[in-house]
Amino acid sequence: MTKMALAIHGGCGVMAKLDLSQAEWEAARVDLGRALKAGWDVLTAGGSAVDAVQASVVVMEDSPHFNAGYGAALNTDGQHELDAAIMDGRTLAAGGVTLVRRIRNPIKAARKIMEESDAILLGGDAADAFARSAGLEMVEPDHFTTERRVRALASMKAHVAAGTAAKASEAEKHGTVGAVALDQEGHLAAATSTGGYNNKPVGRIGDTPIIGAGTYARDGVCAVSGTGKGEYFMRYAVGHEVASRVKYLGETVEQAASQVILADLKPYGVGAGLVAVGADGSVAAPYNTDGMFRGWVTPEGKFFVATHGEVFEPSEQHAMDL
């Protein structure tokens, strides 16, 4: 029996403390804890890493505090175009959706594509139709809209008009959610879901649904889920790059992940972060921004969540209530 491991992220960025109220920061941490518990419950019951990462991501897709599913970013036309992907490290099977507008939980559609389709990636209306035929819950596009994202879109448009887009806060920009896990059988999996970034061009596709870029898992090596400026994650094939450093250079997951996020991407000045778990159960969560929503569970079952430098351990009663 292998030592289990689970880590999640809810996006990285400037994350100025004043962007959210204290109550909103606390609520986001509670939902991070709920996402961890959902995945950890799967693992401790003997479930698969794939089931665990999906369970964690679904919780974050249903939370208004993260940019995925409910609460997702709006494009320049004020519409949602959602992306998600999942990968099974045991077989290298993978599935993804992009530019979807009506699937309540895009990560579930990615899982259905992985298991029931000859394709790996479906987009737009075709992906929505596939999900509907697969029996997944469908919603009207405005289901995903929150007042916070409407304000963020207006703010980003104002920044663009003023030529100050680069100075926009994380609350006005982007975010992603993801999970990585190692199950009792030694299998790895990764899952990622996002709404992209506020005021993105219509039809823009980021790294999240691109296997090897924002999402990657390979048994015996590691599983990776990324967050940040997706165009650079695609250029560097970040998920695969981290795995390659582990496999071919013999680096630890921490060394490989830190090299890519803190060194390789540094010259570009772009926000980036990821969570990764190794075949040995080790966990890494580097980021080069002011903060990153993140959480992990130790092999002993202790939960930890964080947004900035301070790490929070939910009380025993709090953990029971999650």
Give the residue among 28, 17, 18, 43 at the shortest CA–CA distance from 180.
Answer: 43
Task: Considering the candidates 98, 176, 215, 307, report the single residue annotated as catalytic.
Answer: 176
61 CB-near residues (< 8 Å, 6+ apart): 68, 69, 70, 104, 105, 106, 107, 177, 193
With contact defined as beta carbons under 8 Å apart, do 319 and 305 qualify?
Answer: no
- Please state the domain count of the chain: 1
Strands (E) across 89-187 are located at 93-100, 121-123, 174-182
Q: Phi and psi at residue 166, in whole multiples of 5°?
A: -65, -20
pLDDT in tens, the chain (322 residues): 678 999 999 998 766 665 677 888 889 999 999 999 999 999 999 999 999 999 999 999 999 999 999 999 999 999 999 999 999 999 999 999 999 999 999 999 999 999 999 999 999 999 999 999 999 999 999 999 999 899 989 988 997 888 776 666 545 455 799 999 999 999 999 999 999 999 999 999 999 999 999 999 999 999 999 999 999 999 999 999 999 999 999 999 999 999 999 999 999 999 999 999 999 999 999 999 989 999 999 878 889 999 998 899 875 334 434 4
How big is the chain by its Cα radius of gyration, in Å?
Answer: 18
176 is a catalytic site residue: yes
Q: Return the residue matching tokens 């003997």.
A: 46
Q: Which amino acid appears at position 212 of this protein?
A: G
Range of the domain at 264: 5-321
With contact defined as beta carbons under 8 Å apart, do 171 and 152 qualify?
Answer: yes
Strands (E) across the chain are located at 5-13, 82-88, 93-100, 121-123, 174-182, 188-197, 215-218, 222-228, 272-278, 283-284, 291-297, 303-306, 311-312
With contact defined as beta carbons under 8 Å apart, do 194 and 83 qualify?
Answer: yes
Provide the CATH number for the domain around residue 274.
3.60.20.30
244 CB-near residues (< 8 Å, 6+ apart): none
With contact defined as beta carbons under 8 Å apart, do 128 and 102 qualify?
Answer: yes
